[in-house]
Chain A
Amino acid sequence: DTAVSQTPKYLVTQMGNDKSIKCEQNLGHDTMYWYKQDSKKFLKIMFSYNNKELIINETVPNRFSPKSPDKAHLNLHINSLELGDSAVYFCASSPAGINYNEQFFGPGTRLTVL
């Protein structure tokens, strides 16, 4: 009964490749997020979607493009991967509304760019 699931869990790829990470939540939440956790373990928000609509788009290279086919899914596509993209990417979801809402995180996808 995984609440927030991500695939793949590990992703190793060459520089310049294009890759996607998928996220699904079965909690009925309206809001989903993508975070990047760097080697210093600092979590930083990248994107947020509320009911399939983009509401947060932090300063992230255009090579990163989120796609939300429905409110239960938020996928992350990365073009022309660079060494600096190596990190753990976490998907999260929360109920509708913007205050006092708990976020539920997925298990993370460890991306290694060689």
Chain B
Amino acid sequence: KNQVEQSPQSLIILEGKNCTLQCNYTVSPFSNLRWYKQDTGRGPVSLTIMTFSENTKSNGRYTATLDADTKQSSLHITASQLSDSASYICVVSAQGTYKYIFGTGTRLKVLA
């Protein structure tokens, strides 16, 4: 069964600190993995997209890694800001389908 699991479920950090969010998946055959940021009351916004051959991708202070062998991905946020407070969702798609399997998300709260 295609599944995407994220951890932790929620996280609270102080402004300026770094953090890492985890995503494990069982989707097969793998096509690509994306990380989305969803602010409260808004739609998700794409941060990174990685295919099988890519093992790291950065978008400003966001760096995603992908280990296709262990089927794990992480999203590292550097020097967190208050505006990073949001839900971060890992999404994996399978080859040959239009389907995107969404994780349950990690809710990040950055405190001043």
Contacts and interface: CB of A to CB of B under 8 A. Distances in A.
A6 to B, nearest CB: 9
A98 B98 contact: yes
B102 A108 contact: no
Contacts of B96: 98
Interface size classification for chain B: 20 to 34
B32 A99 contact: yes
Nearest to B95: A99
B43 A45 contact: no
Interface size classification for chain A: 20 to 34
Contact of A108 (B41, B46, B100): B41
A1 interface: no
Contact of B45 (A41, A48, A99, A105): A105
B7 interface: no
Contacts of A98: 31, 93, 96-98
Nearest to A107: B43
Interface in B16-57: 31-32, 34, 38, 41-46, 49, 51
B43 A48 contact: no
Contacts of B102: 42-45
Contacts of A107: 42-43
Contacts of B51: 99-100
12 contacts: A4-B43, A31-B98, A55-B98, A56-B99, A92-B43, A98-B93, A98-B96, A99-B51, A99-B93, A102-B49, A103-B44, A103-B46
A103 B100 contact: yes
Interface in A59-114: 90, 92, 98-100, 102-108
Contacts of A50: 98
Given A100-B31, A106-B43, A107-B42, A45 B100 contact: yes
